[in-house]
Chains A and B, each alone.
Chain A
Amino acid sequence: MIRIAVVDDHHAVRLGLEAMLTAEPDMEPVGAAATAAETWPLLYRTAPDVVLVDYRLPDLDGLTVCQRIKAAPPAPAVVLHSAFADDGLTVAALVAGADGVVHKGAPGRDLAEAIRTVAAGARSLPALDPELVRAGAEVLDGEDLPILGMLLHGTSRDEIARILHLDAPALQARLADMLGALRARPIEPALESA
């Protein structure tokens, strides 16, 4: 049974997700939080395998919540749930440590598959447009590009830390800086030329 916790500030969405997850034979919704602040008590109480985090929350954004959840091992898998078909989100999600990104408008089947994929330890991210990756690389500090490269390649954080001779908090700080840079200059896909 895959145990899933939901963090979303819309009551209707929480109810809808609970119903959808209950209907899946291999999934069990174990609780929901409406704010970032409630997320940690929820995680401590339910110890889920997967957490679905809304990208927009009233008190803290979903990327930061994701980053903080992943900073404390053993962390559950995190799937960012976005109402915006925002491809630029994927690079930031990668840096924040998300295991998956699913668009809220996608069919329930997509979300269920993403949950199964991340629960098994793999990633479920939308295909990354090379343009977006290039745009992301442009806003980042040169020293951080190897980290982005390794994240794109699927290298685990432990491996990255080992390769760069960083301890966990140091890598965490670098990732936080990278996230800050990506947020300050959001990536727009390059416009088609006329």
Chain B
Amino acid sequence: MSIPLKAGVMIADDHGLVRDGLRVLIDAAPDLEVVSVAGDGIAAVERALDPRVHLAILDVAMPRRTGLQAARELARRRPELRILMLSMHDVDEYFLEAVKAGASGYVLKTVADRDLVEACRAALRGETFIYPGTVRALLREHLERAADADDGSDVLTAREQEVVKLVAEGHTSEEIAQALVISPRTVERHRENVLAKLGLRNRVELTRYAIRQGLVEP
């Protein structure tokens, strides 16, 4: 699917106020516009099959079909559609479930104003949207596994490994930039390369990894 510079978004949430609020946020962005809304999971699937929709935002809890059920059905019937879930809770396991169902990640309703547009853009770039806490957890998990494996076949460069360690310890990009004497932009670049190399940007790889590690049920 070739996504135009102004992408079409569908919002599905059973609360009218939430839909209206998200619509205002999304329409304010120059590169996004809301083309349809839905109030339940079945309508959500119908509306998201429309080719004018490039990204579907699905509330986790909806009548008639849950957000996860709708995501699974949409991922099956229209694989090129980008999907984001809307959730009340910040739970690492939930993130992996959402990704397994076909979403690029989830956005917390409590901070939707800050994160929603960024998450939409990440999803439209084909990236996963992961909260810092979950990134840390996934990287810590990687470090533990890498320590046990000891097969010396780490795909990360020495610098990237340094960045992984610092991110896993909970440091901000600014702190890492100062510690390694590089620019914040270089830190971001290393972070992105690490996420890509470890398969955390790629939904399919991430899901396979999570299943192998027992983080989600197959």
Contacts and interface: CB of A to CB of B under 8 A. Distances in A.
A77 to B, nearest CB: 8
Contacts of B184: 73-74, 158
A73 B31 contact: no
A75 B185 CA distance: 7
Interface residues of A, number: 19
B121 A74 contact: no
Interface stretch (A7-15, A43-51, A100-108, A140-148): A43-51
B30 interface: yes
Contacts of A42: 5
Contact of A37 (B30, B183, B189): B30
Interface in A88-114: none
Contacts of B77: none
Contact of B189 (A41, A46, A49, A156): A49
Contacts of B182: 121
Contacts of A158: 184
Interface string A70-94: 0001111100000000000000000
A38 interface: yes
Contacts of A45: 3, 5, 7, 31, 121, 124-125
A40 B6 CA distance: 11
A154 B89 CA distance: 45
Contacts of B6: 41
A7 to B, nearest CB: 12
Contact of B5 (A38, A49, A156): A38
Nearest to B121: A44
Nearest to A49: B189
B97 interface: no
B97 to A, nearest CB: 26
Nearest to A33: B5
Contact of A41 (B5, B173, B185, B186): B5
Given A40-B30, A41-B6, A46 B185 contact: no
A44 B189 contact: no
Contacts of A75: 185
Contacts of B5: 33, 38, 41-42, 45
A121 B173 CA distance: 16
Nearest to B187: A74
B31 A121 contact: no
A158 B182 CA distance: 12
B90 interface: no
A121 B124 contact: no
B115 interface: no
Which interface residue of B5, B173, B185, B189 has the most chain A CB atoms within 10 A? B5
Given A45-B125, A49-B189, A73-B185, 15 more contacts: A40-B31, A41-B6, A41-B30, A41-B31, A42-B5, A44-B31, A44-B121, A44-B124, A44-B125, A45-B5, A73-B184, A74-B173, A74-B188, A77-B185, A121-B186
Interface of A: 33, 37-38, 40-42, 44-47, 49, 73-77, 121, 156, 158
Interface of B: 3, 5-7, 29-31, 121, 124-125, 173, 182-186, 188-189
23 contacts: A37-B30, A40-B31, A41-B5, A41-B6, A41-B30, A41-B31, A42-B5, A44-B29, A44-B31, A44-B124, A44-B125, A45-B31, A45-B121, A45-B124, A45-B125, A47-B125, A49-B189, A73-B185, A74-B173, A76-B185, A77-B185, A121-B182, A121-B185
